[in-house]
Amino acid sequence: MKHLKIDNLHVSIGDREILRGLSLDLPTGQVHAIMGPNGSGKSTLAKVIAGHPDYTVTSGDILFDGESILVMEPDARARQGIFLAFQYPSEIPGVTIANFLRAALQARLPEGEELEATEYYAKLYEKMDLLEMPRNFTSRAVNEGFSGGEKKRCEILQMAMLQPTFALLDETDSGLDIDALKIVSHGVNSLRGPETGMLVITHYQRLLNYIVPDFVHVMINGRIVESGTKELALKLEAEGYDWATEPEAEAVGA
């Protein structure tokens, strides 16, 4: 079992502190969900783990199986096994999905070793079938002109191909209708297993009906204020986030 451990993490963008002492332990074999209102810092957490250059870690640490990854470049983190399914995936004009994924897989091979093309395509087609994607998808430029649903499916396709140790799914449900949500969830669920840990970031409980988490954390103002099992998500759905913000308000008042 491996662990992705976030330890008292403080993160700023410019002068603004967004994460204020966040801690979390995600072992492989588990799915954790992070829920929280807009602006609570959920997406920041995902991007910081992936090493986005806009954010500065002012204190705390991110440990991949006990080793800090803070000094690692984003591509090195990815090869280590961290995968971020972006909330807003970039369009990459002129680069086909097939070429893109091949480059990503090639980067994971030892130097001098070439990716085996037949195996690669066999695997690619298998995963595309799983996500109900037509074959001609591979020759389209990455995310260019994709619908919201296609973008999210493309993210999951990449996750399936790259087989990360830890996957961070940032608002993967946003912009999806119910059919697309089912397909995407099915894809994600098929990747669950003892070798993979997942962090599912979402604003709504809806996604968690399809990707059932082992643990749910509530994030407010850059911190986790409450953790529990999947029932916590239902409570949030029923009562909103107000109850969770109250202790904070009291603390300020006191």
Partner 1 sequence: MEGALVEGQWPEWFVASRQRGWADFEKLPAPAPKDEKWRFSKVKALALDSFRYPAAVADAAALVGRSTGLGESAARFVFGNNRLLAATAPAAELVKAGLVVMTLEEAASKHADLVEKHFMAHEAKLGSAKYAALHRSGPVNGVFIRVPENLEVVLPIEIFHWVEGENSAVFPHTLVVCQRQSKATVVDCFRSSDDAPAFACGVNDLVVEEGAKLNYVAVQQWSLATTAFHLNSTTVGRDAACLGMQVNLGGKFIRGESYSRMVAEGARSDMLSVNIASGEQMIDQRTFQDHAKPSATSDLLYQNALTGKGRTVFSGVIRVEPGAHKTDAYQKVRNIVLSDEAEANSMPGLEIEADDVRCTHGATTSQVDDRELFYLLARGIRPEAAQQLLVMGFFNTVLDRLPDARLRGPIESLVEARLKAALPA
Q: Which token pair is 34?
A: 């992070």
Contact predicate 147/119, CB 8 Å: no
Contacts with partner 1 by CB under 8 A: the residue count is 32
Q: Which of 3, 52, 206, 230 binds partner 1 (CB under 8 A)?
A: 52
Residue 236 CB partners (closer than 8 Å, separation 6+): 35, 205, 216, 218, 244
Identify which of residues 106 and 229 has a Cβ nearer to partner 1 in the complex.
106
By CB under 8 A, tell whether 140 contacts partner 1.
no
User: 114 phi and psi, to 5 degrees?
Assistant: -100, 145
Q: Which residues, 64 to 93, sit near partner 1 by CB under 8 A?
A: 73-76, 78-79, 83-84, 86, 89-93
Minimum CB separation of residue 163 from partner 1 in Å reads 11
**In the complex with partner 1, which residue's Cβ is closer, 74 or 149?**
74
Tokens of 37: 């209102």
| Dihedral pair phi/psi, residue 238, rounded to 5° | -75, -40
C-alpha 86/C-alpha 161 separation (Å) is 16
Residue 113's H or E segment, with its range, is none
Q: Least Å distance between CB 146 and partner 1?
A: 13
- Rounded Cα distance between 222 and 195, Å, is 29
* Contact status: 57 vs partner 1 (CB under 8 A): no
Candidate list 40, 44, 158, 185; residue touching partner 1; CB under 8 A? 158
Among 13, 57, 141, 234, binds partner 1 (CB under 8 A): 141
Q: Which of 23, 67, 108, 135 binds partner 1 (CB under 8 A)?
A: 108
Q: Does 246 engage in binding with partner 1 (CB under 8 A)?
A: no
Out of 13, 57, 63, 104, point to the residue binding partner 1 (CB under 8 A): 104
SS3 90: coil
Given the complex with partner 1, which of 73 and 126 has the nearer CB atom?
73
**Smallest distance from the beta carbon of 164 to partner 1, in angstroms?**
9
For Cα atoms 152, 45, 191, give the angle at the middle one, nearest 5 degrees.
45
* The amino acid at 215: F
Cα separation, 207 vs 182, in Å, equals: 9
Nearer to partner 1, 99 or 209 (CB): 99
Residue with tokens 């493309």: 154
Using rule CB under 8 A, residue 53 touches partner 1: yes
Using CB under 8 A, which of 99, 163, 174, 245 touches partner 1? 99
Identify the helix (H) or strand (E) that includes residue 26: strand 16-27
- Which residues in this chain contact partner 1 in the complex, by CB under 8 A? 50-53, 73-76, 78-79, 83-84, 86, 89-96, 99-100, 103-104, 106-108, 141-142, 158, 162
